[in-house]
Structure 1
């Protein structure tokens, strides 16, 4: 990474760390190495969304060509969202791909991801299963996203007892909790279909 890029990145990190407006929205970063190429982002789930109360971690990798190439950003915390892969955490966001511009900053990226959590784009999904549920069964989507926030992002909502009972049934059959949650979520919490899917 060039000195220019390094100095710019230092400024950007400082901006995120010291800006009170950003910390009030629940965005923080942690620098993981001296050359600033690996950063951990933290985003608090926005209020009035299924992610409210959760704390979501992001893995941010800064390329050598920064700021002319976008950072690589993915969710380290599992999240149920049409524009994020429920398996890998990869994010579908235009500014992380073809709409990146050298004038954009880490702050812009983090605020854009937080905005995406408020308004999903199911027509341009990263996870087709989640997007279909979002459009066809909005109540199930909301309940599932809340459940994932509770389970994976230390959310504060009370647990959905009905969903938990189904997860426990699969766990009793020897299925790992994370896999049980994932398969049930993908099958709209239909226990029979989830069981067939796992054991067939």
Structure 2
């Protein structure tokens, strides 16, 4: 009887979470539940403009343990073997206080009465996929606005941007199940902006909201980034052309 009561309570908690997600998810995060597994959810979030992750798609699988909500969900990141953020490992591990996979205290850690799946996905998008991911590395927050920090943050962001582009290619080749058409539609509409941003970098400009701006002495585009882009852009053009992305003809 205790087992049946616990299962009923667990199912009620999950359905409550589904309702919160259905009503309050931001427009840039999508969640789907599995028909035959209440404990599984698949999440995709878009990278925000102004960050190295802009126009990218990032997938996570969430599993709710039998002890949920006393324990947080287990989260797996679809990394494709790429480390594009200090909080996201090639193995798929997501390092975050809210998931009890990193140290924290107070409201930073999971609470069975206060925390929610919505809080988890919004925290990942806002705290992980930010504009200066270098400072997410443990201990590096002390270097914010210091010469060493500024010197190291830029190349890290450039590499995160390149890995985001490579993630796009992996997603187009092997889209996560249940999101095959979603991935294609996203890049059919955003492909030209992705290529436009790449083209702006290649010309030595700064990218802001996927548009080129005047060259800035404070944030130059490195020669290394331009060289790397010459290698990845042709693959992006081919992938976007294959799915008939809009407005990509000029980059062929």
Query: TM range, normalised to the smaller chain?
Result: 0.5 to 0.7
Structure 2: segments with no counterpart, 5+ residues: 1-5, 104-108, 141-148, 170-190, 200-224, 233-252
Please give the alpha-carbon distance, in whole angstroms, between the structure 2 residues aligned to 1:54 and 1:112.
17
Contact 1:79/1:89, CA 8 A, preserved across alignment = no
2:157 pairs with 1:142? yes
For residues 123 and 43 of structure 1, the distance between their equivalents in structure 2, rounded to whole angstroms, comes to 24
Q: How does 1:89-128 map to 2 (within 5 A)?
A: 89-97=92-100, 99-102=109-112, 103-116=114-127, 117-118=129-130, 120=133, 121-123=136-138
CA RMSD of aligned residues (A): 2.8
Contact 2:73 2:99 (8 Å CA) reproduced: yes
Alpha-carbon separation, structure 2, partners of 1:122 and 1:66 = 29
Query: Counterpart in 1 of 2:88?
Result: 84
TM-score, normalisation: structure 2: 0.55
User: Paired residue for 2:186?
Assistant: none
The whole-number CA distance in structure 1 between the counterparts of 2:115 and 2:13 is 11
Is 2:17 the partner of 1:7? no
Runs of 4+ in 1 over 6 A off after TM superposition: none
Aligned mates of 1:161, 1:45 — CA distance in 2: 21
Tell me the distance in 2 between the aligned counterparts of 1:106 and 1:41. 11
Contact 1:122–1:135 (Cα < 8 Å) also in 2: no
Between the aligned partners of 1:101 and 1:144, the Cα distance in structure 2 is 35
Helix, strand or coil at the partner of 1:137:
helix
Q: Which of 61, 67, 81 pairs up with 1:59?
A: 61
TM-score using structure 1 length: 0.67
Are the aligned partners of 2:198 and 2:229 in contact in 1 as well (CA < 8 Å)?
no
Q: Residue 105 of structure 1: CA displacement?
A: 0.7
Equivalence for 2:227: 162
Query: What is the CA-CA distance between 1:84 and the residue it aligns to?
Result: 1.3
Rg bigger for which structure? 2
Greater relative CO (CA pairs within 8 A, separation 6+): 1
